[in-house]
Structure 1
């Protein structure tokens, strides 16, 4: 007999903590009013490996009163209760993996349920939802997605193949928390046009036995870095590529949202800030560029990416926004300014070379930056070796040396 517990997250019911026989349980999040057969099918496979199961029911039809409630409000409340329950199970050490079985609505709920679980905690979603929703979920978490391609209407010759593999996969996964004593790690933001600088920083930090975790400054990357900094995963940040702020201000496709450039300040860890790639805003194919920018300086980076050069007024606003965010920080900060260019496209003879626009970023920054935050100007390009050397040297002077590697 399998070891199974169940939590119902219906609107009118209280969600209570449950006792699990083992501390290595798999949570199965599903709408048990519509996906019960699939959930029990997966549970049988999981329990057959010796791991226990807890069901988290996010269905909406298990109480007659639910029909009189606004559907969106009901889903939000159910998601909130399920999120709280899963967090409690995680904090108590009761579950070490979670799998969702869902259609469109259930997939959205699953994204909320696992939102607080840490990086590396196994999260797998078997879903028949539309690709756009799955792409959105993938941008918000380190979730593993298993699209079914066919709709989930019971266990049959098609869905059973997916469910068996998903069940076997989740049972093979276990959460491995970050060790208290471990190698120091620095988060670095990168873009193709700042890659030489990032490569140099990674090499220099490696020479000091410090790991570099690089995040693409493409919107999703910046959001994930901020969340992991908040989760205390890093000892310092080299925010070399702050281009996502340009997209946030001007409606580009690589915005990381309003919380970008805030987590390190809240945590109080050292952060090195540079204006990497603030000379550009990202859009999709050429025809996707908004009509209001039709006469602007555009560069087709790839068939799927069109870049727009920022103007002096825009870079001033980006610098001003950067200063406002940094002014809330409570840890050590250094701003590095490369006077000869902020990206590979911003070199003499390059498509985005515009020293006036670059200088406007610095002016906008200084207009709002507290005098306690130093700005260092370097007479080099951001991708010149001396820029990376200065960035890493500052981080090495400020990183917590007490977290040196002992167990790696």
Structure 2
């Protein structure tokens, strides 16, 4: 049987482009399932799922939509599209999804893609793919292709982009091994967080755990990585967390580029999975480019990680505040949790003689943790640096005790 790809978008504004994409998908041996998310049906661009059906799935009707402003129609059609395509995916009636557009079209497409599971082929062709913009927040493993030109009339450039997009999504659905790609999920799966300044520690812990039969999934603690880990924990894909790099909390506190938002380190406590926690990289916040450093931090201690990245050192007051925030998160834990403190430094640069060494700030962090942490949560102080092999060994041992 042919693989089926949901093709969804506004046929009243971009029908010509969508039906060209449809032809290219058919050329690639894929069956397109056309879905109209516009508000003015176009008979020359017939879709299997009509705009009226999408509006009903969004809790309204085209007639009602026309009585409201544009925002109302966007919310209804976005909600309806997400509900329909999520249902098609759950019922295994589609094997992939693709959409295209500018700002509005990208935002609507993102609303849908967020609802689709990890590993399911999904693609957005967008005029704003080259920008760091909110529409792409939370779209996870969606493939995003820059259309290079506006999606406004076919021309030789856009035709080439749509041909490439059709070939890409067709390849994903036709040749992907699907759910069997990674084999069976191991009995014990551990999430770990890593930054460049905690890499030696994380790599060593991973080696030890993998030797014992654990599957270790490492997330780059750059903001997006932390969010993805939180999402996977909530979806039940992770059995335990060795959260060695909790620095995204400090990034959020200081306004750094690598914040994972205010809800970082909430999924594991809520789900009750076992956790080993280390305040790794909680000594710094990233500012890229360096000119993005706020004026309030002028004159503060920093280190240039590379020519485009300035690392601001958290001072004692900020470190104490970060420690209190971390303790508050952990105090909500419904499952077993152990905290390990590397007393000789919490990052590569926060080491004896290192460019961001600050024993007073570290002690403020540790003291706040000890003061505010729930008394029944074990807190173990180690006279080691975070990247010492012996500290990595201790992390692995403590995790294996509770998982």
TM-score normalised by length of structure 1: 0.87
Q: 1:40 to 1:185 in 2, by over 3 A?
A: same
Q: Does 1:270 align with 2:269?
A: no
Shift of 1:136: 5.8
| Aligned residue number for residue 19 of structure 1 | none
- Check the 8 A contact 2:303/2:312 in 1, yes or no: yes
Shift in Å at residue 241 of structure 1? 0.5
Aligned residues of 1:206 and 1:212 also touching (Cα < 8 A): yes
Q: By how many angstroms is 1:185 displaced? A: 2.6
Aligned residue-pair number: 378
Within the alignment, does 1:348 sit opposite 2:362 as a pair? no
Q: Is the 8 A contact 1:30 1:100 kept in 2?
A: yes
**Match for residue 11 of structure 2?**
32
Match of 1:113 in 2: 112
Q: Are 1:128 and 1:149, in contact at CA under 8 Å, matched by a contact in 2?
A: yes
Higher mean alpha-carbon deviation, 278-287 vs 335-344, is at 278-287
Unmatched tracts of structure 2, length 5 or more: 42-61
Question: 1:6 matched to which residue of 2?
Answer: none
Q: Please report the RMSD computed on the Cα atoms of aligned residues, expressed in angstroms.
A: 2.1
Deviations 1:191-211 (A, max 9, x none): 111111011112112212322
Q: Which of these residues, 329, 335, 338, is aligned with residue 331 of structure 1?
A: 335
> What is the CA distance between 1:372 and its match in structure 2?
2.1
Give the 5 Å matches for 1:185-196.
185-196=189-200
Which fold has the larger relative contact order, with Cα–Cα distance below 8 Å and residues 6 or more apart in sequence? Answer: 1
Q: Distance in 1 between matches of 2:135 and 2:229?
A: 16
Q: Do the aligned residues in 2 keep the contact of 1:26 with 1:52 (CA within 8 Å)?
A: yes
- In structure 2, relative to structure 1, the CA distance for the partners of 1:23 and 1:231 (3 Å cut) is farther
Q: Does 1:182 align with 2:185?
A: yes
Equivalent positions of 1:238-387 (< 5 A) are 238-387=242-391
Confirm or deny: 8 A CA contact 1:32 1:58 kept in the other structure.
yes
Does the C-alpha gap of structure 1 residues 57 and 368 become closer, same or farther in structure 2, counting only changes over 3 Å?
farther
2:332 and 2:73 map into 1 onto residues whose CA distance is: 37
Query: Deviations for 1:210-251, whole angstroms, at most 9, x for unmatched residues?
Result: 222211111111111111121222221111101110111121
Instruction: Report the counterpart of residue 168 of structure 1 in structure 2.
Output: 167
* Residue 229 of structure 2 corresponds to residue 218 of structure 1: no
Residue 393 (1) aligns with residue 372 (2): no
Q: TM-score, normalised by structure 2?
A: 0.88
What is the deviation of 1:141?
Answer: 1.5
